[in-house]
Amino acid sequence: MSIPAPSIRITGDARSGADLLFRGLDLTLEAGRWTCLLGASGAGKSTILRMIAGLDAHVTFDGQITAQDGAPLAGRVAYMAQSDLLLPWSKVIDNLCLGARLRGTRPDRARAARLLERVGLAEHAGKRPDALSGGQRQRAALARTLMEDRPVILLDEPFSALDARTRSEMQDLAVELLAGRTVLLVTHDPGEAARLGHAIEVLGPNGLTEVAPPAGTVPRSVDDPETLAMQGALLRRLREEVA
């Protein structure tokens, strides 16, 4: 990564039709760190990701999204949606090279092959997505996001389709390969937020609630007592939000 990762601030209100989605949002993503965003379905988490990415979020947004360095975010963001969005007619390795092809640049297929090896899909590089399991497709989508090598990374439930062992391995890999990036991770998994968050935010009907993360270096150990205690505390908070 040659471009420094900026901090990002999102402030404002959003409506979906006549319905208020959130009001008075004030969220700061610290430069070079992982911010984990939790909340009930429909709270607006994915909407926030799409707005930062510059995509149509199908809402009316009255606010601002600014980078601390004053430069536009366009061209500095990589976004991984909940759906893998792999092109069904393209081989897995060609899906990883999609960004370069769309930009009219020469794809680095050697780097794509290395990333596929890191996510455990080297032997599937020449297959099409319909030959992969759901978890394998999600790993391919993660590798495609990593392939973009952007300073700002937006991840929407990137590990949700993975089994527990593979999930922890991909979390560790993502932290390694995204070192120094500004990352916003939307997740429904309190354990994931407790492991990965330098900052943890819960989005609810009354806005954002910041939760102090456990001590220790990200990614935290899966059996760290403080991390497990935080997982339980976050789950209780989410249940209270719904109640």
Domain assignments of the chain as residue spans, ordered by start: 1-76+151-243, 86-149
Report the pLDDT averaged over residues 172-188.
97
Q: What is the mean pLDDT of residues 112-124?
A: 98
Residue 26's CB: how many other CB atoms inside 10 A? 11
Query: Phi/psi zone of residue 39: left (φ > 0), alpha (ψ -120 to 50 degrees), beta?
Result: left
Of the pLDDT bands very low, low, confident and very high (cuts 50, 70, 90), residue 4 is confident
Q: What does the pLDDT look like over 11-29, one tens digit per residue?
A: 999 998 888 989 999 999 9
Please give the Cα distance from 175 to 216 (Å, whole number). Answer: 14
CA torsion through residues 86, 155, 227, 232, sign: negative
Name the average pLDDT for the chain: 94
Distance CA 241, CA 18 (A): 22
| Model confidence pLDDT, tens digit, residues 227-239 | 999 999 999 988 8
Can you give the pLDDT at residue 85? 95
Residue 47 pLDDT: 94
How confident is the model at residue 42, as a pLDDT? 85
Would you tell me how many other CB atoms lie within 10 Å of the CB of residue 152? 23
- Exposure string (b/e) for 124-138, b if CB count within 10 Å is 16 or more? bbeebbeebeebbbb
Is 171 a residue whose pLDDT tops 80?
yes
Q: CA 97, 1, 48: angle at the middle one, nearest 5? A: 75
- Where does the pLDDT of residue 243 fall: very low under 50, low under 70, confident under 90, or very high at 90 and above? low
Structure confidence at residue 3 as a pLDDT band (50, 70, 90): low
Say how far apart CA 88 and CA 106 lie, in whole Å.
21
What pLDDT, in 10s, does the model give residues 155-165?
A: 999 999 999 99
pTM exceeds 0.75 for this model: yes
pLDDT at 166: 96
Q: Give the per-residue pLDDT at 204.
A: 86
Tell me the torsion sign for CA atoms 38, 39, 40, 43.
negative
22-73 pLDDT per residue, tens? 999 999 999 999 999 999 888 899 999 999 999 998 999 999 999 999 999 9
What number does CATH give the domain 1-76+151-243? 3.40.50.300
Amino acid, res. 40 = A
CA 193 to CA 200: how far, in whole Å? 7
pLDDT greater than 60 at residue 2: no
Residue 207 above 90 pLDDT?
no
Residues 6+ apart with CB under 8 A from 222: 168, 191, 195
* Count of helix runs (H) and strand runs (E) in the chain: 8, 9
What does the pLDDT read at residue 206? Answer: 77
Token pair recorded at residue 59: 């809402």
User: Rounded distance, CA 203 to CA 224, Å?
Assistant: 25
* Order of strands, sheet of 60-67, starting from the edge strand that comes earlier in the sequence: 19-29, 8-16, 60-67
